[in-house]
Every structure is written in structure tokens, then in C-alpha cells.
Structure 1
Amino acid sequence: MSEREDFVRRFGGVFEHSPWVAERAFDRAASVGLTAGNVHSALCNAFRAASPAERRAVLRAHPDLAGKLALAGKLTAASTVEQASAGLDRLSPEEHQRFTELNAAYMKKFGFPFIIAVKGLTKEDILAAFERRIDNSPEEEFETACAQVEQIARLRLRSMLPGEDNA
């Protein structure tokens, strides 16, 4: 396996179901060293350099929070851990109904699922952000969602490269 293939295998899932980000980031990351900070920077630069349609595809690759995939046990391992850490796997029927309603309204308005880096947040924090952000303009929310994807990538890299808190 080449270094590039190994890099893509290792970091291709950091941006949800979007190994192309790692493919495009390899040359820069390999030239500066594989620290969490360097890999994060290279991945984010590749993501930001992508077309709006490509970035929107990354957003669309993310699952709904507490949605059908979660209920069916079909999230990626990283998404499962992330959602569970915020208690989204333990919602009351009323909370689940509210998330379902917000997921549908958000998807209808923006064309991609609500994305938030859930680490350190409670389900109440997430619900409050959801309700606040649904009033954003499409342009504002696209930028916010992209920034959240980059934050999720930072957190995932920190867990993949222990001891490297410079991401």
C-alpha cells in the first residue's frame, strides 16, 4: 500500500463518507508531518478549496441527529459515539418527536441535515442551537454547517492521534 493509500485509508472518514478530502489533502499533510494539527489543516484546506457543490455533498453525507439511521443502528462508528456522548441515543418520545420535526424542517429549508459538533454538549444544548440556527439564511447556515464539519474533523483527529492537542 502506498503512503497516499494509507493516508486515505486512515483519514478518509474524518470528513463523513468523503475520502476525496483526504485524497486532496495528502500532499500537503505529508510534507508537513502527521500531527493532528497538520492533518486537520490540510483536510480543511482541501475542503475549503472544493466547489460549493462538493462541500454541500459533504454536508449531505452527515446523518440526521437522532434520526432514522441512528434508530436503525446504521451510523458510522464515529457518529454513533458522538451522538451517544450527547445523550441523543436516550431521548424521550417527546424529545425524539421534536428532533424529527426540526430535522424535517431544516432539511426542507437548507437541503442538508443539521450539523453540530456534539462533543461536550447536552441534548438541550443541541436542541437550542437547532432552534436558533433554523432561522439563519441559507448562506449563513451553509457557512455555519461547514465550520461545524471542520470542528467535527478536529475532534475526530484528536481521538485518532492521541496526545496531539494542537489540532
Structure 2
Amino acid sequence: MSSQNQEQNMLLMNLEYGQVAIRLRPDLAPKHVARIRQLVASGFYDGVVFHRVIDGFMAQTGDPTGTGRGGSGQNIPAEFSNEPFVRGTVGMARSQHPDSADSQFFIVFDDSRFLDGDYTVVGHVVSGMEHVDKIRRGEPPMRPDKILWMQVMSADAAAIETELKAPDFNEDPLVPGEHR
């Protein structure tokens, strides 16, 4: 892996409701994070729906067919860890077989410690969880939300990107006719 990829551990996921920033954890799951970076760079996730959203549990996406049965066609060996599944944790979805994770991932709405050690943790939401909370529920939802687009970048670049998009509410408003 190049040093550039080592630094690109911030995943920006753009939803209808706003931007979600996810800090990727290559220290926990290097193969999964590398695959996610590849898929994001290829535009794989752009326009993909959240096909399984369970209230109080999680929102799952990453299947281009929207059925929950699709993927990129490349399974990744399990990289289980002791990292707990708490609110905002991003994990890789899989079938009963531990080495069956592919492109599907999920974000937990609440602590889900029963998943600890049985699913690969790839990251954690560091901002925008309020947007994840708005994703429509259902298996599948009647009108599923989708990922508009995703981008991987360094944490520094992501901070600049987020700062450019977020208004500064601490600044005094400019009174009409006033100049600074």
C-alpha cells in the first residue's frame, strides 16, 4: 500500500440529508479498508441504495442490485477485532461464512455489542451521524435512500472540505448594507 493510501483514511459519504464523515481503520482491517478505497475510487457506491435499514439497529448498503444479494464479486477474508460495535461504528456485512464480506457495509444506530468479534469493523462515523439517523427504515424501505457519492481523502483534506460546506454559525451575521 502506498504512503498516500495510508493517509487517506477519511471517507466522505454524501446523502440527501448531508455529508457523513467516516474515519477508516486500516489498523483493524487493512484488506477491507483497501478494498473500500478501491471501490470508492471506481465510483462503485455512487447511487447505491440503503436496502436494509432496521430501526434501533443499523443501515446497510453496498449492493448495486439493491436486493442485499449483490456485491463487487470479490470476497475478503475476515479481519475480526475486539473493537466494539457502538453507535456510529461501520462494519462489513457478510453471510454465515466469516470470509464472505464483499462490498456491503452497515452503520449501527445504537450500541450493538452482540456483533463484537463476529463482524469486521472498518471505521466509525466522526460527523454527520444525524444524517444517518434520517435514513428511511425498511427491508427494503419503500423509497430507499441512496448514497449520492463517496470520496476517500486525508483527514486534513476532509476537514477543509467539511469546513467549506458547513456554515460558521459562531460568526456575527452581516447586517444588510454593512461591509467587512
User: What TM-score comes out, normalization by structure 2 length?
Assistant: 0.31
Pair member with larger Rg: 2
Structure with a larger share of its residues in strand: 2
Higher relative contact order, structure no. (Cα contacts within 8 Å, ≥ 6 residues apart): 2
User: What TM-score comes out, normalization by structure 1 length?
Assistant: 0.33
Structure with a larger share of its residues in helix: 1
